[in-house]
């Protein structure tokens, strides 16, 4: 009797197990029960990231030796916006001159946490003389008419077409030769070249370039910052030619000598490279010519690149607002940090999780 009772229990257990096992439409038993997609939450967990800088951002020092034995020291930041869509490129312009650490400190928290700040376009006094577009609004324009070679010794009025780096609404970046073709409306027009200006040969266009020039088109980036000259175009070094054609020799850019520099490059796959080098003997660094900056950015993978304000303005601020390089205003041999106040800056920030 006991043996029959145990057999009945085993049979009942088997029937219960079969009835609780999922079956397909043919009434056959599935090999594996379906997974409840809501179990444990339906949002994909974001990869945990540790380190001073967020995912998609690397900041590294470099030290190179030239063929003549001189050395240059600097920093390279690489920003991969595809690896981390919460990264944000921000152009900033102050109502007055501010040190880069002040731009970093005063950064709007609604635009995320700042991680990198560098100086940007050219300025005179407290006025930007380079293009700056913030959130689609043109805050300042580059020279439309300029006394050449300078205001004190003007030989003629010129109309320089200069380079600018912009981020479009879809997040993509481009570097273009841009001129403001409608000053009251602040309309920015892209041109296929520098339109015939050349300081070296002292040849200049007679009239401002027109928006109806073949190949020209209106440029409407969400963020943009101007400077110059262009250093790389489609992987080709155009630094020296652009230096003369963008009429930057008279402005003190000193493109043929080694100086502290700030520059940015774009890679084929959409990364942004920021380079800041020291010069004028700071920390033993000789600085770089524009051609040397172009070569360095190309070696890092850039296919397009442009130069920004340099000299004592060149500065990079990193994690928690720390100044990484040695700005040159302190004087050769000094280890003191002396910040030059600037008018425009670029900040790389990261939005909080859930924002993009």
Q: Are 169 and 231 in contact (CB under 8 A)?
A: no
Residue 274 in this model has a pLDDT that exceeds 70: yes
Is 193 within a domain?
Answer: yes
- CB contact at 8 A, 285 and 127: no
User: For residue 51, what pLDDT is reported?
Assistant: 79
| Residue 230 domain-assigned (yes or no) | yes
pLDDT tens-digit map of 1-29: 434 333 433 444 443 443 434 444 444 44
Mean pLDDT of the chain: 90
pLDDT at 46: 55
Average pLDDT over residues 303-325: 98
**pLDDT greater at residue 12 or residue 52:** 52
Per residue in 214-236, pLDDT (tens digit) is 999 999 999 999 999 999 999 99
* Parent domain of 200: 57-350
Q: Is residue 50 part of a domain?
A: no
CA-wise closest residue to 164 among 213, 230, 216: 230
What pLDDT is stored for residue 10 in this prediction? 43
Q: Tell whether the model's pLDDT for residue 315 goes beyond 50.
A: yes
- Asked whether the predicted pLDDT for residue 197 surpasses 70, the reply is yes
- Average pLDDT on 97-108 reads 98
Confidence of residue 356 (pLDDT cuts 50, 70, 90): confident
**Of all residues in the chain, what percent carry a pLDDT higher than 90?**
84
Residues 6+ apart with CB under 8 A from 6: none
Tell me if 223 is assigned to some domain. Answer: yes
Task: Decide if 4 is inside a domain.
Answer: no
Question: In the chain, pLDDT over 70 holds for what percent of residues?
Answer: 86
Contact 56, 83 (CB under 8 A): yes
Instruction: Say how far apart CA 213 and CA 271 lie, in whole Å.
Output: 31
- Give a yes or no: residue 210 inside a domain: yes
Asked, for residue 31, whether it belongs to a domain, the answer is: no
User: What is the number of domains present in the chain?
Assistant: 1
Give the DSSP H or E segment for 2.
helix 2-20
Out of 20-24, 124-128, 171-175, 286-290, least confident range: 20-24
Average of per-residue pLDDT across 261-280: 98
SS3 292: helix
Confidence of residue 50 (pLDDT cuts 50, 70, 90): low
Which residue has 């440029």 as its token pair?
A: 219
- The answer to whether residue 199 sits within a structural domain is yes
């Amino acid at each position: 009797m006991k043996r029959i009772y145990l057999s009945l229990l085993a049979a009942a257990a088997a029937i219960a197990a079969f009835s609780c096992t999922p079956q397909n439409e043919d009434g056959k038993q599935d090999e594996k029960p379906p997974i409840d997609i809501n179990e444990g939450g339906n949002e994909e967990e974001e990869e945990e990231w540790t380190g001073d800088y967020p995912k998609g951002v690397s900041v590294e020092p470099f030290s190179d030796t030239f063929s003549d034995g001189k050395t240059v020291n600097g920093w390279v930041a690489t920003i991969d916006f595809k690896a981390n869509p919460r990264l944000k490129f921000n152009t900033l312009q102050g109502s007055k001159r501010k040190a880069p650490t002040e731009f970093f400190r005063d950064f709007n928290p609604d635009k995320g946490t700042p991680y990198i700040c560098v100086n940007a376009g050219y300025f005179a006094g407290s006025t930007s003389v380079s293009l700056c577009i913030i959130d689609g609004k043109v805050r300042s324009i580059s020279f439309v008419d300029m006394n050449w070679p300078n205001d004190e010794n003007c030989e003629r009025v010129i109309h320089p077409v200069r380079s600018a780096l912009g981020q479009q609404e879809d997040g993509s970046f481009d570097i273009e030769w841009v001129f403001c073709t409608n000053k009251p409306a602040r309309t920015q027009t892209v041109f296929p070249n520098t339109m015939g200006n050349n300081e070296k040969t002292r040849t200049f266009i007679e009239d401002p370039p027109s928006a109806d020039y073949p190949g020209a088109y209106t440029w409407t980036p969400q963020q943009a910052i101007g400077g110059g000259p262009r250093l790389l175009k489609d992987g080709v070094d155009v630094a020296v030619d652009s230096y003369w054609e963008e009429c930057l020799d008279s402005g003190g850019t000193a493109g043929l000598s080694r100086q502290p520099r700030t520059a940015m490059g774009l890679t084929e796959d959409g990364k942004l490279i920021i380079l800041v080098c020291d010069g004028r003997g700071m920390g033993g660094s000789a600085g770089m010519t524009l051609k040397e900056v172009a070569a360095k950015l190309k070696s890092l993978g850039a296919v397009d690149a442009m130069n920004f304000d340099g000299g004592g303005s060149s500065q990079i601020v990193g994690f928690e607002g720390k100044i990484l390089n040695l700005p040159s205003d302190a004087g050769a041999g000094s280890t003191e940090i002396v910040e030059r106040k600037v008018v425009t800056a670029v900040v790389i920030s990261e939005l909080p999780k859930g924002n993009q």
